[in-house]
Amino acid sequence: MRGMGNMQGMMKQMQKMQKQMAEAQEELGEKRLEGSAGGGMVKVIVSGQKQVLEVVIDPTVVDPEDVEMLQDLVVIATNEAMAAAEELSNSTMGQFTKGLNLPGMF
């Protein structure tokens, strides 16, 4: 019977951890992270869940003769914002996997 009590306790802990993970994921979705390029001429806002929410482009950087530069700035700003979201996600969700050594988790 002793093993059964340990199993129930472990199941309760797992349920609690699942609830905390779901809450942390929800909180990540509410976070806003920004990447920018060209001295702030292009900004990309993403959620902590790595969804692009907004792209802001200063009209002065829009040059029909140099579309490639604008494209590059958007890519740079997006990658910067995604890196910030990844870092936030790792620090937030990493607390749940610390010491578990589960490949492919967060």
Instruction: Report, as an integer, the average pLDDT of 88-106.
Output: 69
Place of tokens 């992270």: 33
What pLDDT was estimated at residue 100? Answer: 57
What pLDDT was estimated at residue 2? Answer: 58
**For the chain, what are the domain ranges?**
2-97
Percent of the chain with pLDDT over 70: 86
What pLDDT was estimated at residue 106? Answer: 47
Class of domain 2-97: alpha beta
pTM score: 0.71
Hey, what are 51's tokens? 């969804």
Provide the H-helix boundaries in the chain.
2-30, 67-97
- Nearest CA-CA partner of 81 in 55, 30, 53, 44: 44
Q: How far apart are CA 33 and CA 52, in angstroms?
A: 10
Write down the mean pLDDT value for the chain: 87
Per-residue pLDDT tens over the stretch 41-75: 999 999 988 999 999 999 999 999 999 999 999 99
Instruction: Report, as an integer, the average pLDDT of 4-16.
Output: 82
